[in-house]
Structure 1
Amino acid sequence: MTQALALGIDIGGTNTAFGVVNRRGEIVTKGSMPTRGHETPHHYIAALQQALQPIIEQAGRDNFVGAGIGAPNGNFYSGDIVFAPNLPWEGVIPMAKMVSDALHMKAVLTNDANAAAVGEMTYGAAKGLKDFILVTLGTGLGSGFVANGELIYGHDGFAGELGHVIAVRNGRKCGCGRMGCLETYASATGIVRTAHLLLADRDDATILRGQGDEISARSIYIAAKAGDHFALELMEYTGRILGQTLADAVAITSPEAIIFFGGLANAGEMLLDPVRAHMEANLLNIYKNKVALIQSALPDADAAILGASALAW
């Protein structure tokens, strides 16, 4: 018996994950390969084709509706990856066309956060929602804005960069070159940065002090869960900056919900409670108590593949 299948490809800075997904959001088979170690994008595509060919043939080539690709700085309109700082190749890479030509199937590409939003809408917590914001709290802060059931891409394909809204004027230096971007505060990297700055400036008794360079978003969460007052303050501070900024985002799109995904989001209500409190305190009255804050319903390990595959349907 044949079934419609989609191929999901998530191109990360270190590894590329891929999988075959059916309409119910079940991953039939999956795998991965290094993104790095390939001299040019053409060498990468050749290695990707070699890795994917067996699982495509095993699943039945005629069953595939196409391939969806999530990638940093991926442009939905052009299918190009444009000056992605975390990838090993420079410039503009026509990735969707290269994948399509190599695999002989339709290929659609967008940035990784937008792919996550489509995945959430197709398989996850945003199923049935027409207006929501997806926020990914990983190494950086990514986002996808959905309005009237459609992703907002803007005229050039790069809309929805919440991570690079200025959250603190003249604040921390960001990798993008600007100062005070939200992701320098509200991301796994951002909360660790806050921890180191405060530890250097204060003498709080905290189990984090002995961890040095081993401090991570997860270790901060574990310490906060154990009642460490310093770690709880880090959650509150991070939640305040994120909540205040989300109040501004709500004023622009009036979403039904904001959905959180990624490592830092796994802190759950320990982070979302202060986010909710500070967002509500800064919302216009017309938006108060209308916006749900929800954790992603997609499994961490497979979310990137599911999100990418959803682009193909």
Structure 2
Amino acid sequence: MSDELTVTPSEARIRSLAGQIDLSDPGSILRFGTEAQNRAANAADAMLGAARNPATGEAGTVLSGLLQTLRGFDVAKLSQQPGLVGRLLGRGKAEASALVTRYESVRGQVEAIGDKLDTHRTGLMEDVERLERLYGATLEWFHSLAEYIAAGEAVLARTDAETIPAAIRVTEAGTDGLAPQKLADLRATRDALDRRVHDLRLTRQVAMQALPSIRLIQENDRALSAKIQSVLANTVPLWRTQLAQALAIQRMRDAGAAIRGATDLTNQLLVANAETLRMANAEARTEVERGVFDIAAVKQANAALVATLEDTLRIATEGREARRGATQELALAEQQIRNALAETKARLR
């Protein structure tokens, strides 16, 4: 950014702007730099609009909703075996069916939240583009003010070195009775131009402060957009995969229950067989019972997903606090400039 701020105005441009100043016309001094200075209001309005953009806050709310939804999804419940009484009353299968229905509903909620996040991400990227255009306009405004300041300083230097000394010589010569008044008017006009140039310097300071503020808001919006993209590209697909696995596990458990029932019947029919047949049956039972699914990995993955979203929410909250602090700093800087201007006017009275 420092290179962008150190562009030297061209001599032709300085001479052109200096030609707008007529020391015999106080109105030309009042009008000098007004066009460039008026851009301050437009830039300030645009800055406030960007700082108050609700997209970031809404995105944080949606992320919070997604986090709540994921916390309500307890994969461990699918691994819980119904008790003996529950199995006798057929309660285990009914509870599993209710859990499956609930998780299907949760999946729909996650998909809806994903659509909202994508909308917010698009809005944030549009804000980044608008802020880029605002940055370019503000930088152009800054350089325009620098050109006016350089032109004013050139006129002041020429006035101090040539115009005023020439008026002093005419006054001392006594050939013109109005020369003293003309000299006083010239000095007053020169001082008015000096104040005008100083006012333009203050405005340029406002422009300089606006540039890093725009970049700060841009970076926050861009970072949050990237986090949302990460959620859409990684977290939500992983969530869907996890849910599909949980449902598949439940169906596998139901199939295992059917197999256990068939095996129990087989054991009753083979109870009178020889010891060899009993040993073969025991080996078969062992192989059948080996298919117990460990849910620990799924629980660990779910915990990692929740931690990821907590990090995203924390970063979004920090970004929002940073923008709020930037807005307060802008307001403080503006008030300081206003105070300085008021104090300057008071001293000149």
Category of TM-score, reference length = shorter chain: under 0.3
Q: Which has the larger radius of gyration?
A: 2
Task: Give the TM-score of the pair, scaled to structure 1.
Answer: 0.19
Q: Which has the higher contact order (CA 8 A, sep 6+)?
A: 2
Task: Give the TM-score of the pair, scaled to structure 2.
Answer: 0.18
